[in-house]
Amino acid sequence: MRQGSLMFLIEGPFGRILHTGDFRWEADFAESMLSDEVLTWAPVDKLFIDNTYAHPRYNFPSRAEACQAVLDLVLAHPDRTILIGVDKLGKEELLAAVAAATGERVCVPAERWSLLLMLGLPAERLFTTDTRAARIHAVLRHTVCHGHDQTFT
C-alpha cells in the first residue's frame, strides 16, 4: 500500500484547479502511480503545488532509508520502551514496518486504530491500543520531548 497526501481537484466555470497537499516526491512515485493506473491525466488550468520541503537546502533521505534508520534504532534496543512521534495522520507504513520487523505489536491511540482499520491494514496482528501490551508506542510527535511525562503502566 502506498500512501500520500491529499489532492484537491476543483472544476467549475473557472476551469480545472489541482491543489496538492504537502508531499515528498520520490523518483519511483510517478512510475508506480502510472503503472497502478491510479492517475488519469487530464488538462489542468491552474496547479498549486505544496512544495514546502522541495528547496535545495533540504536533503531528506528516501522513505526506505528513513524507515531503515528507524528500524535499526528500534532493533538495537530490544529491552527499551520506544516512542515513535507521529502526527495525527501519516506514517502508517512505518508503524506497520516496525511491527513486522520486531514481531511485536505497536501501541496506537484508539483514533489511529480506527484509521488503520479504514486503510485495510491488519490492525489486530500489528497494533494494539493497550499501553501495557506493547513496548513500542506511536505517540503524538509534540509529546516526544524532554520533560514530557510518558507513563505506561
Poorest-confidence range of 31-35, 61-65, 115-119, 122-126? 31-35
Decide if 44 is inside a domain: yes
Residues present in the chain in total: 153
Report the percentage of the chain scoring pLDDT > 90. 31
Residue 116 backbone dihedrals phi, psi, to 5 degrees: -60, -40
In this prediction, residue 1 carries a pLDDT of 39
Kindly calculate the radius of gyration of the chain based on its CA atoms and give it in whole angstroms: 18
Is pTM beyond 0.85? Reply is no
Same domain, 44 and 71: no
Which of 8-17, 43-52, 97-106, 114-123 ranks highest by mean pLDDT? 97-106
pLDDT digits (tens, 9 = 90+) for 80-94: 999 999 887 778 889
Decide if 56 is inside a domain: no
Decide if 2 is inside a domain: no
In this prediction, residue 148 carries a pLDDT of 59
Decide if 148 is inside a domain: no
Q: How far is CA 129 from the centre of its chain?
A: 18
Q: Report the distance separating Cα 82 and Cα 106, nearest Å.
A: 10
Same domain, 34 and 86: no
Residue 110 has pLDDT above 90, yes or no: no
In this prediction, residue 4 carries a pLDDT of 54
For 7, the 3-state DSSP assignment is: strand
- Determine the structural domain holding residue 41 and report its residue range: 7-48
Domain count of the chain?
2
Same domain, 72 and 42: no
Same domain, 23 and 76: no
Decide if 151 is inside a domain: no
Residue 101 has pLDDT above 60, yes or no: yes
Q: With CA atoms as reference, report the closest residue to 131 among 139, 143, 123.
A: 139
In this prediction, residue 59 carries a pLDDT of 79
Same domain, 94 and 135: yes
Residue 131 has pLDDT above 80, yes or no: yes
Same domain, 26 and 72: no
Decide if 27 is inside a domain: yes
Same domain, 71 and 135: yes
Per-residue CA distances from 11 to 14, 70, 73 (Å): 7, 41, 46
Same domain, 132 and 71: yes
In this prediction, residue 74 carries a pLDDT of 96
Decide if 76 is inside a domain: yes
Same domain, 99 and 43: no
Q: Which residue has the cell 495522520?
A: 89
Same domain, 34 and 104: no
Same domain, 67 and 129: yes
Residue 38 has pLDDT above 70, yes or no: no
Same domain, 133 and 86: yes
For the segment 110-136, the average pLDDT, to the nearest whole number, is 86
